[in-house]
Amino acid sequence: MFSPRRRQLLQFAAATPLAAAFASVPRPARAAFPKPELPLKVGYVYVSPIGDAGWTYQHDLGRKAVEASFGDKVMIKVIESVSEGADAERVIREFASSGYGLVFATSFGYMNPLLRVAKQFPKGIFEHATGYRQAPNVGIYAARYYEARYLTGILAGRMSKSGVAGYVAAFPIPEVVMGINAFMLGMKSVNPQAQVKVIWVNAWFDPGKEREAAATLVAQGADVLTQHTDSTAVVQTAEDKGAYAIGYHSDMSKYGPKAHLSAATHHWEGYYRRVVQQVLDGSWAPDNVWGGIKDGMVGLAPLHPAVPAEVGALVATKKQDIIDGRLLPFQGPLFDQAGRQVIGAGAKLTDDELLKMNYYVEGVVGQMPK
Amino acid sequence: MFTLEARTLPSVRAMWLAPLAALLLTLLGGSVLFAAFGHAPLQALSVYFLQPLASVYGIGEWLLKATPLAVCGLGLALGFRAKVWNIGADGQFTLGAICAGGLAIACDGFIDAESLWIAPAMALAGIAGGMMWAALPAWLRTRYGSSEILSSLMLAYVAPLLLGWLVNGPWRDPAGFNFPQSIQFADAALLAPLHEGARVTLAFPVALVLAGLLCFVQRYTYAGFRLQVSGEAPLAARHAGYSQRAAVWIAMLTGGACAGFAGYAEVAGPLGQLQPSVSPGYGFTAIIVAFVGRLDPRGVVLAALLLSLLALGGEAAQMTLDLPAAISGVFQGGLLCALLACDTFVHYRLRRVYRKPAAHTS
Amino acid sequence: MSLSGWLPILAGVLAAATPLLIAALGELIAEKSGVLNLGVEGMMLVGALTAFAVASGGAGYAAGALAGALAGVGLAALFAWLTLNCLASQVACGLAITMLGSGLSAYAGRDYVSRTLDGMALIPLGGGFGFDPLIVTGLLLTVLVWYFLQRSRAGLVLRAVGESPATAHALGLPVRCIRWAAVLFGGACAGLAGAYLAIDYTPMWVEGLSAGRGWIALALVVFAGWRPGRTLLGAWLYGGVGILQFHAQALGIAVPAQFLGMLPYLATIVVLTLIARDPLTQRRHTPASLGQPWHPHA
C-alpha cells in the first residue's frame, strides 16, 4: 500500500528436474477428480489491478472468454491486487474453502502458498501460472513468449534504420532475459550488425521511469523500442519521439497509432477454456504446459500498415517455421555476449537450459545486474 | 461559532463514545457507498465485518494479520508517548526479517527436527536486527540532534532495497531457477500454527503478553513514568534530571525490537522464506494503529484487530459482492480519518464562542 | 559528447525533476509553517487522476492542471481540518490521507485507464526549441517560494509561526489560518505535481501512477534543508542520477541498481546530520515546531 514498488509475476514451467521430482508423485487415476456439480465455481487471483493492458489484463481476457463460452455452467470470481506475501495463501484458501472447484493463480509468487493450500484441499483443482512446482491437484502453465519475441526481433531488424533497438526491462529473471535474447537473435537473423541496448528499471510498474528509460534509449540511437514492464509508457514514448515500438503482453496499438509495429502478445483464452472443459468433463489431470505460438498461447498483434508487405511475408514465413518446428529461436551455434560459444551448430538449448538463462547473447549491449 | 477547549482530564465518556461515533459515521458513509453500487447496505456491511470471522480459519487469519500490526504498533506507541517519532518501523520490520531469515538460511545445513534452539535464536536475531536499524536514528538524534522522524523514514526505504539485493544475489535459492527468493526454511525454523489448519502462530499470544507487559511498565514502573514525563513535559523532565537521551534510546530501541520481532514472526510464520518484499506496509499501518489505539497498549491491540478486519473484509467484499479492491482503500481511509477526528473529544470539548457576548445573552 | 548529445539528457533531467520539485516546494511551505504532511503521495495521485480526467474530457491542459491542483487542495483541506482543528496527530493523518488518496484515485479512475491523451505541447521559442509550460512553472515557483520566504513580510510571518506558534499567537498572528493556508498551498503543489505526471510527463492515468514520488519529495525537503534553491538543486540531482544511470546502462556500464536506489535516502540522512551538527544552521532553517500540534487554548 505504501510501497513504491509493485512486484509482479514471473515466469516458468516445463519439464524441469524439480518439476519432474514433484510430478513423479504417481499420477492419479483419471477418476480422481469426478465431474463437479454445476455451476462450477472458478476463482482467479490477480497480482495487480486489471487495467487496460498488460499481464493481468490478458489473463482477464481469458477469464471473460471462459464466461462467454460456458455461460451458466460456471460461476467466476476475481480477486485483484493480491500481494505475493502472507495474503496470497488466505485468498487462495478462501476460494478453496468456499467451494471453488478450480482456482487459477496467475503470478509466480503464489507458488508456495498455493501448494500449501492445495495440500489441505486435495479435492480442489489448482492451476498456477509460471511456477515450477506441481502436485497431484496442481497443474502449472506458462507460454513460450520468446517465440513471439524472436519474430518481433525480425520485424525490428527490418524496420530499424540505425540497427539499434532499445529494450526496457524490469528485473533480471530468466523469463525476461530469455525475451531479450530471443529478440536479439531475431533481429540478428536479418541484420548481423544489429544491437539491442537494455535498460533495467528495477520495477514492474513505474510509468515515469519506463518513460525516462525509453527516452534515454532513443537519445542513444535506438529507433525501435520494446519493453518487458507492465505499462504502456514505452509505446507512448516511442510515439512521441517518432520511433517505432513493439508492445508486449497486449496489443498496444491504441497507445501508439504511428509507432506500434506489432506486439508479442499473450493469449490465455484457449488454455483456460480447455482446462475448464476438462474439469467439467471430469478428465482433468495435473499437467505442465509450456505452450507456444503453435498452441495459440503466444501471438503477434496485427502488423502496422507501414510495415512493407515483403517484411510482413518474411515474419509470416518465420512464424510458420516456428509453428512447424523447423525454426527454433535458440538454435546453435549460439554465442554469449563475450563471444563464447554456448552451443555448437546443430545443437539446441533444452527447456531446462532456457528456464535458467542468465546470460546475454552476442549483440546485446549492457551488463546484466547481478 | 465553536471552538475547542482543552479538558483538564481526558473525558472517560468521550473515550468510549468517540470510537463509536467514528464507527457510526463510517458505517453511514459506507452504507451510502455500498448503496451507490447497488448493494443492500446492511448485507454489504455484514459481508465486510462479519463474514471474515465466520469460521475458525477466518478468525485465525484475522489474528494472523493483526499480529504484525499489533506488535509494531505496541513498540511505536511507547515511543510516541515519549514524543519520540519513530516512523521507520517498516524498515526495522524488514531488517528483523533479514536477520532472522539469514540465520535460518545459514543454519539450514545442520538443523533438524531436534534443533529446538533455532526458533529462539531466530527471534533474537530478528529483534537485534530491528534494534540495529532503530539505533541509527537514535544515535543521530542523541549525538547530532537530527530529527528521528526523517532519518527513520529514510532508513525504511533503504531496508527493502537491501533485502532485494540479498534475495537477488547471495541468498538466492540455488535450486530456484534464478528467481529472486531464498530457500524455504527448515521445519524447525518455522513457528508452528496455534490451531490445526489455521496459520496464526505463537506470535499472537506473544503480542498479548507484550501488551500486558507494556501496560505494566507504563503504569507501575519508574522507567515508564520517566518516559511519559519526558514526552509530556520535557522541561519538567529535565528539571527532575531525567535524561532525554535515555528516553530517545529506550523509545527507539523498544520500537525497533518490536518491529524486528514482528518481521521474524512474519518470515518464520506465513512466509517461510525470504522474498523481495516481506512487508506490505505493516510498519506504516502500525503508526495509524498506534494513534487509533490512543497510544495505550490495550487500545493498540484493538486497533490492530480492527485494521486487520478491514483488510479481510475488503477481500470478502471482492469475492462476495464483486466490489473492486480500490473501494476498500476508500473505506479504510475514511474510517481512519473519522476515528482520528472523533478522538479529539477525548482531550478537548466543544465550546460555543460568542463573538459579541453582550448582544447575544439569552 | 557534443552539445546535441547533452541536450536531450539535460531536458530529461529537467523533466524528471519537475514533479519532485513542485511537490517538494509545496511541502516545504507546509513544513515551514510547522506542519508535517505525509499525505503528499495521496494528494499527488488524486491530483493526477483529476487532471487527467479533466484534460482527457476535452477541457484542455490548463484546466486539467488547475483541476489537479484543486483536487490536491481538497484532500489537503481534510488533512488541515483533522490536524489543525481536530488536533489529530500529523503523522497518522498524513498516512491516512495517503491511504484515502490512493484508494479514491484507484476507484474513481477505473474508467480512465483506457483513455489516451497526447502530451502537452511545448511553447515554441523558435529554432526548433521550445519549453514545457509546467516545467517552467516549477522553476518560477522556486523563485516565488524563495522570494516569499526570504524577502516578503508574509514569509516572515509564516516562518515565525513555524518557529514558535505560541509566540506568534501572542503577537496576534492568526496561527491556525496561516497554517491552513500553508497546508492548502502544499496540497495545490502536490496536486499540480500529480497533474504534471498524468497530463504531461507520462501522459496517462493508471493506479499508483506516482510510484513513490511523493515520498521522495518529502525526503527532498529535508535534503534541501528547507531551502527553495537547494530544493531545486536536490530535485535536479535526484532526477539526474536516475537519468544518468539509464544512460550509463545503455552504454554498457554495469550499475548496481539496489545500491544506487539507496543513495537518495542515505544522502538525505547525511545532509540531515550535517545540518543538525551546526546549531546555527539548524536554528536558521529547520522549523522548530515541525510536527507538533498547537492550539490556542491548549
Taking the C-alpha atoms of residue C82 and residue B340, their distance in angstroms, rounded to an integer, is: 7
pLDDT for B355 equals 60
B60-102 pLDDT, tens digit per residue, is 999 999 999 999 999 999 999 888 889 899 999 999 999 999 9
Domain boundaries, chain A: 17-143+268-291, 145-258+298-365
Region C190-214: mean pLDDT is 92
Q: Which three cell numbers stand for residue A273?
A: 477454456
DSSP B101: H
Q: Give the Cβ contact number of residue C104 at 10 Å.
A: 22
- Given an 8 Å threshold on Cβ–Cβ distance, is A16 in contact with B276? no
B147 contacts in C (CB within 8 Å)? 222, 272, 276, 286, 290
Poorest-pLDDT segment among A282-291, A327-336, C264-273: C264-273
Q: What is the CATH number of domain A145-258+298-365?
A: 3.40.50.2300
pLDDT for B1 equals 60
pLDDT for C276 equals 73
Domain boundaries, chain C: 3-285
Chains that touch A (3 or more CB pairs under 8 A): B, C
Taking the C-alpha atoms of residue A144 and residue A329, their distance in angstroms, rounded to an integer, is: 11
Q: Give the Cβ contact number of residue B40 at 10 Å.
A: 12
C76-127 pLDDT, tens digit per residue, is 999 999 999 888 889 889 999 998 999 999 988 888 887 888 777 777 776 6
User: Does domain A17-143+268-291 bear CATH number 3.40.50.2300?
Assistant: yes
Taking the C-alpha atoms of residue A194 and residue A361, their distance in angstroms, rounded to an integer, is: 12
Pairing relationship of beta strands A138-143 and A334-335 according to DSSP bridges: unpaired
Q: How far is C173 from chain A (nearest CA, A)?
A: 37
User: A22 pLDDT exceeds 50?
Assistant: no
pLDDT for C128 equals 65
Nearest to B343 among C36, C88, C259 (CB): C88
What count of CB pairs under 8 Å joins A to C? 109
Contact yes or no for B59/B302 (Cβ under 8 A):
no
> CB-based contact (8 Å) between B177 and chain A?
yes
Region A82-104: mean pLDDT is 91
User: What does the buried/exposed string (b/e) look like for B102-111 if buried means 16 or more CB atoms within 10 Å of the residue's CB?
Assistant: bbbbebeeeb
Nearest to C206 among A207, A211, A366 (CB): A207
pLDDT class for C1, splitting at 50, 70, 90? low
Mean pLDDT by 10 residues, chain B (362 residues): 73 80 83 82 86 88 95 95 90 97 91 84 96 95 84 91 90 85 90 83 93 91 84 81 87 96 95 91 91 90 92 86 80 84 79 59 42
pLDDT for A370 equals 66
- Whether A17-143+268-291 and A145-258+298-365 share one fold: the answer is yes
pLDDT for A5 equals 31
Percent of chain A with pLDDT over 70: 91
**Secondary-structure class of domain C3-285 per CATH:** mainly alpha
Highest-scoring range by mean pLDDT, A59-63, B351-355, C276-280: A59-63
* Phi and psi at residue B294, to the nearest 5°: 55, 30
pLDDT for B116 equals 84
User: Could you identify the residue written with the cell 509566540?
Assistant: C167
pLDDT class for C281, splitting at 50, 70, 90? low
pLDDT for B74 equals 96
Taking the C-alpha atoms of residue C222 and residue C269, their distance in angstroms, rounded to an integer, is: 9
B288 contacts in C (CB within 8 Å)? 92, 95-96, 99
Q: How far is C276 from chain B (nearest CA, A)?
A: 5
Question: How is chain C classified by DSSP, letter by letter?
Answer: --HHHHHHHHHHHHHHHHHHHHHHHHHHHHHHTT---TTHHHHHHHHHHHHHHHIIIII-HHHHHHHHHHHHHHHHHHHHIIIIIS---HHHHHHHHHHHHHHHHHHHTTTTTT---PPPPPEEEETTEEE-HHHHHHHHHHHHHHHHHHH-HHHHHHHHHHH-HHHHHHTT--HHHHHHHHHHHHHHHHHHHHHHIIIIIS----TTTTTTHHHHHHHHHHHTTT-HHHHHHHHHHHHHHHHHHHHHHHTT----HHHHHHHHHHHHHHHHHHHHHSHHHHHHHS-TTTT----TT-
User: C174 pLDDT exceeds 80?
Assistant: yes
A237-246 pLDDT, tens digit per residue, is 999 899 999 9
Taking the C-alpha atoms of residue A170 and residue B66, their distance in angstroms, rounded to an integer, is: 33
Taking the C-alpha atoms of residue A311 and residue A301, their distance in angstroms, rounded to an integer, is: 15
